[in-house]
Chain A
Amino acid sequence: MEQPKVTPQMVKDHGLNDEEYQEIMEILGREPNYTELGIFSVMWSEHCSYKNSIALLKTLPREGKALLTKTGEENAGAVDIGDGLAIVFKIESHNHPSAVEPYQGAATGVGGILRDIFTMGARPIASLNSLRFGSPDNPRVRYLVDGVVRGIGDYGNSFGVPTVAGETYFDEAYTGNPLVNAMAVGIVKTDGMISATIKGAGNPVMIVGSKTGRDGIHGATFASEEISEKSELKRPSVQIGDPFTEKLLLEATLEIIEKDLAVGIQDMGAAGITCSCSEMSARGNSGVTIDIDKVPVREDKMTPYEILLSESQERMLVCVKKGYEEEVYKVFKKWELESVIIGETNDSGIFEVRLNGETVAKIPSEVLVLGGGAPVYHREAKKPSYIDELAHLDLSQFSLKRDWNKDLLTMLGSPNICNKDWVYNQYDSMVRTNTAVGPGSDAAVMRIRKTRKAIALTTDCNGRYCYLNPRLGAQQAVAEAARNVVCSGAKPVAITNCLNFGNPYKPEIYYGFAEAVAGMGEACRVFETPVTGGNVSFYNEDPEHAVFPTPVIGMLGIIDDIKHVTTQWFKDTGDLIFLLGESEDELGGSEYLHAIYGRTTGPVPALNLYYEKAVQETLLSAIRAGIVKSAHDCADGGLAVTLAECCIANRDKMMGAEIYITDDIRTDALLFGETQSRVVVTTSKDDGEKLVDLCITHKIPVAAIGRVVGERLTINDAIDLPLKGIALSYYSSLTKLVETIS
């Protein structure tokens, strides 16, 4: 086949620098041809190679006795939960596609992460998503919100996985570059997992699922650039999702694995056939030769280059056990899916592509992949000057003569605090009937059938904290995720993470990245929640600015006995309300300063990881002792918002509260400050003393701050509001904000 001659300009257009090209020449001992250049460009792109992040990611705690996979070595991380079962979970970004084509970008983000789960043999049981947009005042932002939410909903709903938790944040920092992070969770018998490996000699390699088209070519490379005016032209790089085909692929794949017909399976996500072939063979220390002309295509005259780089969705590569080809065909045929043998394994260690028998690309698999020959860089880091400038705050500039009732209502209706049911009611949160606690509490809880167990799931990150102090912000993200999981009655066991940052070649951006990774590592070590895997997304910048450093934490917790499931809302009149932890004069980084004064400034609240852990352990032992009726972590919006949510979160049974707090701090800090390591807990009248005793034993500050009563929320002399008014602000706000047409 005649291939275009590789020119220096072409190398540049493929996003490879001079050193990288020299490296390629040395590896091959010759110039690469056009097809090979394409292969190197996607495999060595930031998206596939993690070249600017992997050195730091390796510093994260990745060990734990319950971990069944090595971090980053399989499609997703797996955690042993006992009873012969494992939970498989991972979070991934689809920011760039969603920025230009929100519906398909978000939909295929969900599709991709679900495939990562079921290609390991696990059945997806829950989906979560962490979303960040610019201000809803901006019509383009509203378009993005609408498209992303519909995309996530339509894909997950049709596929049949419940979308049970997540977050939706709004801040100007995300205006041109929204963040769409999708997390999926699956369950598998510990002896039923399968690896993403090609190995052995003479095993057939099969492509299954959708035909290959020209969609998504260079999607991985696109994801490794900043968003600009030209990004609109990259719309064809965004793939199109088909959840129906994915549902069929799920059932067929699980059947293949159940019947033990495959050596290994990998999803075709970024970099399509190229990535799955090279990663799978590198993992198995084997080689693979494929005949590209055998790949079913949906368009005429596709070149090997296009077929190799296509990111058409709902496709997988299956390494079949030799001799079982017919049985595999039969399973896929039953599910009306196409499956074609396109190649064979060997022990050469080489990824070879042939067209009509003629070699068009021949590269050792190992040199293409992360952990093998892909480049690894340590970038320059420089502390941005704004961090020190924003680290001090004179609180005396903020008046204490305010209408606190009005402030609370403003806060409850602000985009970041208000109820998000406009978003999550568009998601099927109950299909498969395992959802014990759906969206709207601190964490989602899924029961595990045929056991007494349940799992708690949450995603968390406060981007504003991370902007003001990346290291502390990342610690707080882990701490809050753990706190949410504990409030639901679970013990935190492991995390997955999605690291969303700007261009790593800018030293100020890289500083934020390095600090966040360090902070996350510190926190995960203290909480004993190893990092099972995840995803890095750089280049999240529009022409104006980079996004806030946003290391999203997806956390898994285990509830040993389903009777310990705890929710955030107040339960019964007469229950006693306690605050675990103490409040400080901390307003920096708060939602209050942002919503009321339009200020994003530090210092962010302090955090002592060991103290935080002690608070959480105390709460968990109280829950396990059966004395906690509700628990809600005190986070964005502070104590007043937390209490208001406890009052109205159960819309069928709203409960009022009378609160008296004697803390000697500023009223604004008392009501809206975001001091960490605090939880609002209720007990029955009889159990209050037990909770206090427990806290004393664990040396955790606890204060009885009031009781559940009536139909109003009152806090000292500052707040006195009817629940109806609170509910109106809280529940009606988002629809108004995002459905405005202009």
Chain B
Amino acid sequence: MRFGVVTFPGSNCDYDAYSAIKTLGEDVVFLWHQSADLMNSDVIILPGGFSYGDYLRSGAIARFSPIMKSVIKFAHEGGLVIGICNGFQVLVESGLLPGALMRNEHLRFACKYIYIRVEKNDNPFTLDCAVGDVLKIPIAHKDGNYYNFQADIEILKKNQQILFRYCDKDGRITEAGNPNGSIDNIAGVCNESGNVIGMMPHPERAVEDILGSSDGMKLFESVKKFYKQGVKFERA
């Protein structure tokens, strides 16, 4: 099983994602933004950072890169893609995931450990979790305030596309547990077929106890299990 981690100029969590997969014990390669070659990866990780400096709107430039053309095609064919932080922003800008990520409500960058609640566990990235599991995972972003129109939120709910919601340490969905003002405390979503997911929290930073938590590993363990079970997504 091979993971491909995309490096845009300005990506800075690419190495963290790479070493998380090494910790998982699977094969992992870096994918260069100017190449269209996914190098036979089975899972694509779009890492955190500030792609192309993000001086315009987070993720707005990255979507035009050669590698993203291949990632979009891969996703449409049912390939597994996870966008973390800036990667989530890129996926939203690319139209692979619904909604938008606005400036945090308090208008400041926020880096700290927070809690998210697993809302569904039939997704490749969460099948090792139980619904209602509380994961301790850090955030580090300025533009993570998830927004979508109320009508579209209803669609997300109906289609069960909400994967993670911010909560307190006991799993209650509270305002105090919401670090950035995201609508309905949404921390992560997936596309309709579930093969593309995006989240603002950084699971790749929570993969060893020495770093404060290893809850993030559950996502990578899940997708590994999913892959090893040989389940394939049907073409959309």
Contacts and interface: CB of A to CB of B under 8 A. Distances in A.
A429 B111 contact: yes
Interface in B1-47: 9-10, 12-13, 15-16, 19-20
B84 to A, nearest CB: 12
B53 A244 contact: yes
Given A157-B140, A433-B211, A244 B55 contact: yes
Interface in A120-168: 150, 153-154, 157-160
A247 B8 CA distance: 11
A436 B109 contact: no
Nearest to B202: A430
Nearest to B207: A433
B19 A157 contact: no
Given A158-B54, A433-B205, A562-B210, A426 B10 contact: no
A436 B211 CA distance: 5
Contacts of B54: 158, 244
A248 interface: yes
A242 B111 contact: no
Nearest to A242: B53
Given A154-B109, A425-B110, A433 B19 contact: yes
A404 interface: no
B167 to A, nearest CB: 14
A432 interface: yes
Contacts of B142: 157
Nearest to A735: B106
A158 B9 contact: no
Given A154-B109, A244-B10, A426-B110, A432 B52 contact: no
B16 A244 contact: no
B169 to A, nearest CB: 6
A391 interface: no
Interface in B156-182: 169
B16 A153 contact: no
A362 to B, nearest CB: 40
A160 B204 contact: no
A737 to B, nearest CB: 16
A420 interface: no
B109 A447 contact: no
B187 to A, nearest CB: 17
B111 A427 contact: yes
A431 B10 contact: no
A436 B210 contact: yes
Contacts of A433: 16, 19-20, 204-205, 207-208, 211
B112 interface: yes
Contacts of B53: 158, 242-245
B108 interface: yes
Contact of A428 (B10, B15, B111): B111
A731 interface: no
A396 B13 CA distance: 58
A683 to B, nearest CB: 22
B124 interface: no
Contacts of A431: 12-13, 16, 48, 140, 205
A389 interface: no
Contacts of B212: 438
B138 interface: yes
A335 interface: yes
Interface string A437-461: 0100000000101000000000000
B140 A244 contact: no
Interface string B127-145: 0000000000010101000
Given A336-B9, A430-B138, A435-B211, A244 B52 contact: yes
Contacts of A438: 212
A426 B138 CA distance: 13
Contacts of A432: 12, 15-16
B12 A160 contact: yes
A154 B208 CA distance: 27
Q: Contact size class for A?
A: 20 to 34
A229 interface: no
A652 interface: yes
A243 B205 CA distance: 22
B49 interface: yes
Interface residues of B, number: 32
A247 B112 CA distance: 23
A425 B10 contact: no
A659 B50 CA distance: 49
A426 B111 contact: yes
Contacts of A158: 10, 12, 49-50, 53-54
A579 to B, nearest CB: 29
Nearest to A429: B111
A248 B169 contact: no
Given A244-B50, A244-B52, A336-B9, A430 B211 contact: yes
Nearest to A433: B16
Interface string B184-228: 000000000000000000101101101110000000000000000
A549 B219 CA distance: 51
Contacts of A244: 9-10, 50, 52-55
A247 B52 contact: no
Interface in A195-246: 242-245
A464 to B, nearest CB: 30
Contacts of A449: 19
Given A158-B50, A433-B16, A433-B204, A428 B109 contact: yes
Nearest to A436: B210
B49 A160 contact: yes
A445 to B, nearest CB: 9
Contacts of B138: 430
A650 to B, nearest CB: 11
B53 to A, nearest CB: 3
Contacts of B13: 160, 431
A248 B9 contact: yes
A245 B212 CA distance: 31
Interface in A391-428: 421, 425-428
A335 B210 contact: no
A564 to B, nearest CB: 12
A560 to B, nearest CB: 15
Interface in A307-336: 335-336
B111 A652 contact: no
A447 B212 CA distance: 12
A426 B109 contact: yes
A427 B111 CA distance: 6
Interface string B49-74: 11011110000000000000000000
A248 B112 CA distance: 26
Contacts of A153: 108-109
Contacts of A425: 108-112
A367 to B, nearest CB: 41
Contact of A430 (B9, B15, B110, B111): B111
Contacts of B50: 157-158, 243-244, 247
A245 B50 CA distance: 11
A335 B16 CA distance: 20
A150 B210 CA distance: 28
Contact of A159 (B12, B15, B19, B108): B12
Contacts of B52: 244
* A-B interface, 5 closest residue pairs, ranked by CB to CB distance from nearest: A160-B12, A244-B53, A158-B50, A428-B140, A433-B16
Given A242-B53, A247-B10, 19 more contacts: A157-B111, A157-B142, A243-B53, A244-B54, A245-B53, A335-B9, A336-B9, A421-B112, A425-B111, A426-B108, A426-B111, A429-B111, A431-B12, A431-B16, A431-B48, A433-B208, A435-B211, A436-B210, A436-B211
25 contacts: A157-B50, A157-B111, A157-B142, A160-B12, A243-B50, A243-B53, A244-B50, A248-B9, A425-B109, A425-B112, A426-B108, A426-B109, A426-B111, A427-B109, A427-B111, A428-B111, A428-B140, A431-B13, A431-B16, A431-B205, A433-B205, A436-B211, A438-B212, A562-B210, A565-B210
